[in-house]
Amino acid sequence: MAEFLRGLVAYAPRPRYGPDFAARVFKISRDNQGNRLTWMKLTGGALRVKEALSGPGWTEKADQLRVYSGSRFQTVDEAQAGSVVAVTGLSRTAAGEGLGAEAEALPPALEPVLTYQVLLPQGQDPHAALGKLRLLEEEDPQLHLVWNERLREIHIQLMGEVQLEILQALAAQRFGLAITFGPGGIVYRETIAAPVEGVGHYEPLRHYAEVHLLLEPLPRGSGLELAAACPQDMLDGNWQRLVLTHLAEKPHLGVLTGSPITDVRITLVAGRAHLKHTEGGDFRQATYRAVRQGLMEAESILLEPWYDFRLELPPEQVGRALSDLQRMGGQAGTPETAGALSVLTGSAPVAGLRDYGREVAAYTRGRGRLSCTAGGYAPCHNADEVIAALGYDPERDVDNPADSVFCAHGAGYNVKWSEVKAHAHVGSGLRLGAEPPPPEEAAPSGPAACPTPPPWSRTRSSRPSSSAPTAR
């Protein structure tokens, strides 16, 4: 017994909590009266009733602290580190979010790879249905709802068809909403192949903002990274932070299929504000247009989700399976033997594997089995076909314009995205794609020599004042 206790102390140490308040949100639910409950584990300090909690863009008070035992609960005035409580009064928390000293949010374990249109009963208001489905989205982090304002359609992104059945049952049980789903599609992503500068300018009468962004590709699975490398004397720090907020507040759509971009680092490199006429909304418009303008000039790459698979089937069916995998653009290793079955492992696009489990069961007469796990995103194997089928025209997307607005003689006018850089009021100093210096002009080698800057490095340039010399 003593040895067991020593092992328990060694391998299961008691957690040490800091003095400052910290908590991790792990679930969102609702009680029988419809009150929103934020479930959190306190990892530091203490939480008291009516204490203010804050997150990105919100501050709210904890109205009640509930300690549950089954379906029953008791309210407490204070919760200490290590305890689990359900908090009421918080309307903007999300599962995985950190509060206090736990400020870093956890990345999602899985990303949805399939999308379906939600079909509503005849006469059902889509906005009312969307509000109800949003409640389910809060409770399930793997559920993503997308509202298409132009078509007035609700689209749902999820991991598989099993979630469809669960969602359908929950909508009927919770809200009496009888929903069905249209044909499924693939959730694509877009990225870029090389660095590019994006410029956005927004200057209708008595408004002014200009933003220069550097867009750089990142390794697969990196997501979206944001940074600022703009001198404070060119653009005040408050405006710079506002630009980064606008970059993070929405998914930015690519120009191939209108899919969100990923694996891109966006860096603020230059900008300008007006002493009198700049407002916060001006930088929102300039920032969105800068991202879009850069994507219009960039070499974009369409990405599709892939599955890592394990396929068990009779040996005589291995040839059929390899032929199917080659047709769908997948990759498989050398077949292995597991008892009376052969095992294939590899990866393939979700578009090919999503319904392949039924096909395997059919041609193996129930002896085959396919299991898949998320394998991330990779360049689309039939990009031209997908782009043509979706038929997305970036220049007709009025919700995501790439053009900029300038002002002359007291009136604003539109400038095409391809001409924005020629009209810009400030230079970023970026030298994207510049030719390297000839050998005779390069810095001499040796211990004192400086490393050669990358082709997109900043050149020496004069820094303009914060006021814009614009005719009004």
Superfamily of domain 21-100: Translation factors (2.40.30.10)
Q: Please give the pLDDT value at position 184.
A: 83
Assign domain 309-383 to its CATH architecture.
Answer: 2-Layer Sandwich (3.30)
Instruction: Give me the residues of the chain with pLDDT under 70, please.
Output: 106-109, 433-472
Query: What CATH number should be reported for the domain whose range is 114-186?
Result: 3.30.70.870
Domains 114-186 and 309-383 fall in the same CATH topology: yes
Q: What is the 3-state secondary structure (H, E, C) of the chain?
A: CHHHHHHHHHHCCCCCCECCCEEEEEEEEECCCCCEEEEEEEEECEEECCCEEEECCEEEECCEEEEEECCEEEEECEEECCCEEEEECCCCCCCCCEEECCCCCCCCCCCCCEEEEEECCCCCCHHHHHHHHHHHHHHCCCCEEEEECCCCEEEEEECCHHHHHHHHHHHHHHHCCCCEECCCEECCEEEECCCEEEEEEECCCCCCEEEEEEEEECCCCCCEEEEECCCCCCCCHHHHHHHHHHHHCCCCECCCCCCEECCEEEEEEEEEECCCCCCHHHHHHHHHHHHHHHHHHCCEEEEEEEEEEEEEECHHHHHHHHHHHHHCCCEECCCEEECCEEEEEEEEEHHHHCCHHHHHHHHCCCCCEEEEEEEEEEECCCHHHHHHHHCCCHHHCCCCCCCEEEEECCEEEEECHHHHHHHCCCCCCECCCCCCCCHHHCCCCCCCCCCCCCCCCECCCCCCCCCCCCCC
Q: Please give the pLDDT value at position 240.
A: 95
**Domain residue ranges in the chain:** 21-100, 114-186, 309-383
pTM for the complete prediction?
0.78
Q: What is the pLDDT of residues 168-203, one digit of tens each?
A: 999 999 999 999 998 888 999 999 999 999 999 999
Q: Please give the pLDDT value at position 148.
A: 81
